[in-house]
Structure formats: C-alpha cells, structure tokens
Structure 1
Amino acid sequence: MKTGNIQQQKAYSAINELKILDDLNDYTPVLCGTIPIDIDIKGSDLDIIMEVRDLDTFANELQNLYANKENFSLKRKVIRGKEVVKANFIFHDFEFELFGQALPVHKQFAYLHMLIEDELMKRNPGLKEKVLHLKKQGYKTEPAFCKILNIGGDPYEGLILFGVQEGIVQV
C-alpha cells in the first residue's frame, strides 16, 4: 500500500502514524477489506483484524490506545457463535474498524473474503467495475460479489463456500 494508489498511500500513512501494527503486534494485525484490493469507494473503512485470546485485555488496550480518537466506540458481541471485540474511530478521514476474535487471522471471514475477491478479480478483470457499480448503489462488498456471481443465501457464508469450491481458499 505504500506504493499503491493515492487512497492506499493515505491509508498506509494513517496506519503508520497511529502505529497500530506495532502497538497491537501481539495480536497479528492484518489489514483487510476493500482498500488493499482497490475496490473501495468514498467512505470505505480500514478493517484491521486480529487474533485475540483474552478479549478483556484486548478491550482495555483498545480503550487506552484509541479512546481519544474521534467517534471512538467499543463493542463486544457474538458473531457466528464467537465473541468478538470491535472498536471504531476516525483518524485522518478514515474510519478504522479494529476487530478481534479467538481465531487465527488467516481463518477469519474478512481475510478469506479479501483473498477470494482479489482472486476472482484477477481471474475476471471486468468483475471489478461491476462490483464498484453495485457498491456505489449501496451494496456492501460481499453481497455485490454474490449478486454478480449468482450466489444465493447468506452472502458472507456463500462467498466463502464459493471460494472453497473454486479452490481459492481452504477452511
């Protein structure tokens, strides 16, 4: 991202200025989402996912590091049967979403979705413009891919299953 497009370079700078990857290094932070694979639109956030075994300690650490940032919020909830901690805030015109759960990052949906989406766009370069068109109409990324690829059901589960069937990822 350091040498990517303008938005990627701005994101790289914001992440580095915050020192998120250093400060949260123990949790194996990985930037996921649309900005790294260049299908972001205005308002796309920076999703940083992490493997977290002690959610209480993680929540306290996020509170200590980022509570002073604009629009900071911290939530605990259950997603697909797993408890997660999620923090959001604004920094340098980017919304950051820091996401931690007790699952290795390479097995988390955000990471798998990004790999699948990137590979599908490499296989079919015309797909990118179709996805961006739907996103500008209000679709979230995974539902946009699923609509174009005629994947029914839950788009978040469906995209993973499609990626497995296509040999892009293993779960």
Structure 2
Amino acid sequence: MINFKDISYLKRGTSRQKEAYKVLIELDFFEFLKEFNPILVGTIPIDIDLESSDLDIVCQSENHEEFIKIVSEKYGELSGFEVKTIPSYKNLKTIIVTFKYKTFPIEIFVQNKPSEQQDSYLHMLIEYEVLLEKDKEFKSKIIALKKQGVKTEPAFAKLLGLEGNPYEALLNYGLEKGYIF
C-alpha cells in the first residue's frame, strides 16, 4: 500500500506524477501547510488522471479565515487564485482554494474535519484498492469514461454496478469490502 501522506511516492511514478511532485516541491506546499495536514488526493496519485486533471489537496482547519490569510499571502499572486466558501457541505464548514501553477490547476479542499476522514481521501483509497484488484482493462474503462466527461466516482460506480448516489455508494462499497473503516 502506498503511503499517500508522503508525496515522495510520486518521484517513482509516471512522468505526470513526477511533474506533479516537482510542482508541489517548488510550491513548498506540504512543508508550508503541514499544520493543516495536507494530503494529495484524486486521480494523479492513483494514475487515472487525464491531461487536464488538477492537483487536488485536502486540508484540515478549524479556522478557515486563518487558512485563507496564510494561503493568500503565499499563493495569492498565482494565476486564477480564488477562494470559495461552500455552504454547509455535510454540515461541515468547507472552503475551496483554486489557482494554477505551471501546467497544473490546483484545488485545495479545506474542512474542519481530519484530512484522513474527508470523502475525497476515502474515495481515493477505495479507488486505489479497486484498481489493485481489477485488471488493466478496468483501469482503461475508467479512463475512457473520464475522457467522455464522466467524473471519477460515477465512473467507478458505473463499472462496479453501484446504484444511487455514486459518491455515497462508493463509500459504502469501501466499507463493505473493508478498504476503509
């Protein structure tokens, strides 16, 4: 199992993962924001990304105003820098910070919940386990669906035959299979 909390695994990955690693190191992202427990999540860590995929990072903060101030001072001058507040996502205070650096769009998803318990991280762990169990054809089908515009979780739900809300169905699937606890 990859330790997704330590981005050094990216150095040994695909060319896109190596490029992502360099960008994250140049931004000093994980050192600068270490008090907010940043974790890279999404499609790039598990190698099902498209050329247009962004770097998704989850963070934990009880004080979103402080987080916004710190991030704005460091990254506020970067292209497309924007902060959005999401009204009551699962009864959690949530903000999303977006900007672009080099070839990567970057999205920081911040909640007042431990990063390891956030849905994005759990979805990635489940997807990673599914990819380990399935064959290369399954992975190819996921990528093909993504190229058609299908989001990652719905693509997994479709191929796994999960019904209902794909985001919740994937979490339930992961619980049933013992991928997450």
User: Which TM-score band applies after superposition, normalised by the shorter structure?
Assistant: over 0.9
Instruction: Give, in whole Å, the separation in 2 of the partners of 1:84 and 1:65.
Output: 20
* 1:86 counterpart residue number: 96
Instruction: Give, in whole Å, the separation in 2 of the partners of 1:115 and 1:21.
Output: 20
What does 1:1-171 align with in structure 2 at a 5 Å threshold?
1-77=10-86, 78-125=88-135, 126-170=137-181
Give the SS at the match of 1:99.
strand
Deviation at 1:104, TM superposition (A): 0.8
CA deviation string 1:10-64 (max 9, x = no partner): 0000000000101101011110010010000121010111111111101111211
Stretches of 4+ aligned residues off by more than 6 angstroms: none
Q: Which amino acid aligns with 2:57?
A: I
Instruction: Give, in whole Å, the separation in 2 of the partners of 1:23 and 1:135.
Output: 32
Deviation at 1:116, TM superposition (A): 0.2
- What is the number of residues matched between the two proteins? 170
Instruction: Give, in whole Å, the separation in 1 of the partners of 2:12 and 2:134.
Output: 24
TM-score (norm 2): 0.91
CA deviation string 1:98-142 (max 9, x = no partner): 111111111100110010000001011232111011001100000
Aligned alpha-carbon RMSD (Å): 0.9
TM-score (norm 1): 0.97
Q: Which amino acid aligns with 1:158?
A: A
Deviation at 1:80, TM superposition (A): 1.7
Deviation at 1:153, TM superposition (A): 1.3
Instruction: Give, in whole Å, the separation in 1 of the partners of 2:165 and 2:66.
Output: 32
Give the SS at the match of 2:12.
coil
Q: Which amino acid aligns with 1:121?
A: L
**Runs (5+) with no aligned partner, structure 1:** none
